[in-house]
Amino acid sequence: MIGVDWGTSSFRAFRLGEDGAIRDRRAAPLGILHVEPGHFADALASQIGDWLATGEARVVLCGMVGSRQGWREAPYLPCPAGAADLARALADIPFAGARVKLIPGLSDTDAAGIPEVMRGEETQLIGTLPAIGRDGIACLPGSHSKWARVEAGRIAGYTTHLTGEAYAALRGNTILGRMMPDGPTDLGAFDQGVGRSADPGGLLHHLFGVRTLGLFGRLSETAAAGYLSGLLIGHEVRAALPQGAEVHLIGAPELCALYARVIGALGGAPLQHDADAAARGLARIGAEVQWN
Amino acid sequence: MIGVDWGTSSFRAFRLGEDGAIRDRRAAPLGILHVEPGHFADALASQIGDWLATGEARVVLCGMVGSRQGWREAPYLPCPAGAADLARALADIPFAGARVKLIPGLSDTDAAGIPEVMRGEETQLIGTLPAIGRDGIACLPGSHSKWARVEAGRIAGYTTHLTGEAYAALRGNTILGRMMPDGPTDLGAFDQGVGRSADPGGLLHHLFGVRTLGLFGRLSETAAAGYLSGLLIGHEVRAALPQGAEVHLIGAPELCALYARVIGALGGAPLQHDADAAARGLARIGAEVQWN
């Protein structure tokens, strides 16, 4: 079968064997924001038409392609949900020459009853379940970081933190960013920011300190972005990490390494996984489908 | 004398009687960001030249005009400081035809030793001291909200929260703002946001809820900005408000009214002041100066 992880800014396709192995892969900067409404079928054909031409006719999609702004909106499936639950909830999309099925996102509510949504991360989680086992905690860092609980081999629930998007907005659009040139993360400053997140006063107070440390020459321009990143990720991990928990990290290796650093510093046990969780999840969910 | 509150985006001048009363006033959108370096004297003359021509020769300035980006950088005076301390620390600025003196900002450190800075707010605080009395708490809401402690008639210390600037950055540059048309603050949604700030999970988690409440139709587009505002101000006030404290609010009346609402809801006693605190502070500090 063919698995496609189709997100807001990128398109990644995998040709998958019966055993779930990745036989071939390709990627394009063809996220749903770059596809005109009504042209998703054309976009898919342009990317994987040659694979389909060899006779492959089973395609599974995941990600924001199933959102209101995507090809077709697939209603969220509520937690708890596992691979079989997701496979039963796939949406069929008419497409000439192949059976195209869309994995729905997952919804949940937090302890206060506020809704949660994910699209795409559920597939990465399903792809990582064999490593997590029946019960565990996983974190998917990003613009909207997810912390998921796995119970009895299913995704039991999760919470989201707007950390990555807040970082970009604060860095790009406040006085804090004026002194932050691009460059590699200064890990010493990152750790300082993580430490700062433990102080009283709250995040909004801590943010102003990024400015004053720079004003008084206690934080260099090249270090300030790392400090801000550590401060925000520190706040997230302190709020989300169950004490002493083993945390499976899924996502971009550089960002996962920063989260692993914070989780370790705060008494958790980080475990990093490779970046092919989506492909494995597409294969596992696809394997549960009755294609005939 | 003439008092000038010269900030980043605006210029406000007051003609003050010997008794401190405001005899005349004017304002212009001539903040320091709109003055070319080297042209501050020209800018001042263009705004108050006619007052100077009548024989007035004493001018006191406060605000960001004393910063690195302003007319001349005046080193911060450390807390604690009162009107007399500030008057002794004024910087003289050469100016043809008048004696121009600049009020320095105040520095402090928070409980963790991180620096604090203010420029302009110290003058508003000095102007409000007669109402506050010897001891009290004052809050100056804004882009960088200040919470100050007054002890023995002086500004003993303060903390800053980046609330206003974070609100603008998040509203203008994240997915949260896509559904926020301009309009009056929805007070019901504002109160909901304040309530949300008491939930577990932290601010970065609560921010994502602004998105999901909208997605699920539980927060209308016209209400979302008020909810976000209440969420952020709620986090600030919960972190800064001493239990049951009386809080003197100084600043723009609309914003002070929102803070008063939150302070009252969280068990504090808000007291609102008029918007002329800067003029009163300029007069009080000017009255301490030995002009001859």
Instruction: Report the pLDDT averaged over residues A2-20.
Output: 95
For residue B236, which residues of chain A lie inside 8 Å, CB to CB? Answer: 202, 204-205
Contact across the interface for A212 and B174, Cβ inside 8 Å:
no
Phi/psi of residue B221, nearest 5 degrees: -60, -40
The Cα of B165 is separated from the nearest Cα of chain A by a number of Å equal to: 6
For residue A236, which residues of chain B lie inside 8 Å, CB to CB? Answer: 202, 204-205
Ramachandran region of residue A175, left (φ > 0), alpha (ψ -120 to 50) or beta? alpha
**For chain A, what is the mean pLDDT?**
96
Phi/psi of residue A268, nearest 5 degrees: -90, 175
**pLDDT at A40 (0 to 100):** 97
**pLDDT at B292 (0 to 100):** 74
Contact across the interface for B208 and A166, Cβ inside 8 Å:
no
For residue A111, which residues of chain B lie inside 8 Å, CB to CB? Answer: 199-201
Question: Is the model's pLDDT at A186 over the cut of 90?
Answer: yes
Interface test with B, best of A140, A143, A204 (most B CBs within 10 A): A204
Report yes or no: A90 and A36 within 8 Å, Cβ to Cβ.
Answer: no
The domain spans of chain A are 2-132
Rg of chain A on CA atoms, in Å: 20
**pLDDT at A275 (0 to 100):** 84
Amino acid at B191: D
Q: Tell me the three-class secondary structure of chain B, residue by residue.
A: CEEEEECCCCEEEEEECCCCCEEEEEEECCCHHHCCCCCHHHHHHHHHHHHHHCCCCEEEEECHHHCCCCCCCCCCEECCECHHHHHHCCEEECCCCCEEEECCCEEEECCCCCEEEECCHHHHHHHHHHHHCCCEEEEECCCCEEEEEEECCEEEEEEEECHHHHHHHHHHHCHHHHHCCCCCCCHHHHHHHHHHCCCCCCHHHHHHHHHHHHHCCCCCHHHHHHHHHHHHHHHHHHHHCCCCCEEEECCCHHHHHHHHHHHHHCCCEEEECCCCHHHHHHHHHHHCCCCC
The Cα of B37 is separated from the nearest Cα of chain A by a number of Å equal to: 19
Residue in B111, B199, B204 nearest the CB of A232: B204
Please report which confidence band the pLDDT of residue A278 belongs to, taking 50, 70 and 90 as the band edges: very high
Q: Which long-range contacts (CB under 8 A, 24 or more apart) does B34-42 make?
A: B34/B9, B40/B65, B40/B70, B40/B71, B41/B71, B41/B95, B41/B96
Q: So what's the ipTM on this one?
A: 0.96
**pLDDT at A201 (0 to 100):** 97
**pLDDT at A274 (0 to 100):** 84
How many contacts does A have with B, using Cβ atoms within 8 A?
A: 155
The arrangement of secondary structure in A2-132, i.e. its CATH architecture, is 2-Layer Sandwich (3.30)
Scored b (16 or more CB within 10 A) or e, A229-267 reads bbbbbbbbbebbbeeebebbbbbeeebbebbbbbbeebe
Please report which confidence band the pLDDT of residue A118 belongs to, taking 50, 70 and 90 as the band edges: very high
**pLDDT at B33 (0 to 100):** 92
**pLDDT at B274 (0 to 100):** 84
- pTM for the whole structure: 0.96
Quick one: tokens of B88?
A: 């002794």
- Which distant-in-sequence residues (6+ apart) come within 8 Å of A122 by Cβ? A62, A81, A86, A103, A105, A106, A155, A281
Query: In chain B, what is the greatest distance between 2 CA atoms, to the nearest angstrom?
Result: 69
**pLDDT at A290 (0 to 100):** 87
Per-residue pLDDT of chain B (292 residues; tens, 9 = 90+): 999 999 999 999 999 999 999 999 999 999 999 999 999 999 999 999 999 999 999 999 999 999 999 999 999 999 999 999 999 999 999 999 899 999 999 999 999 999 999 999 999 999 999 999 999 999 999 999 999 999 999 999 999 999 999 999 999 999 998 879 999 999 999 999 999 999 999 999 999 999 999 999 999 999 999 999 999 999 999 999 999 999 999 999 999 999 999 999 999 999 999 889 999 999 999 999 988 7
Please report which confidence band the pLDDT of residue A184 belongs to, taking 50, 70 and 90 as the band edges: very high
Contact across the interface for B170 and A169, Cβ inside 8 Å:
yes
* Dist CA B146 CA B117 (whole Å): 10
Interface test with A, best of B64, B107, B162 (most A CBs within 10 A): B162
Pairing of strands B246-249, B136-140: parallel
Interface test with B, best of A76, A107, A114 (most B CBs within 10 A): A114
* Dist CA B255 CA B265 (whole Å): 16
Question: Is the model's pLDDT at A292 over the cut of 80?
Answer: no
Contact across the interface for A238 and B202, Cβ inside 8 Å:
yes
The Cα of A14 is separated from the nearest Cα of chain B by a number of Å equal to: 29
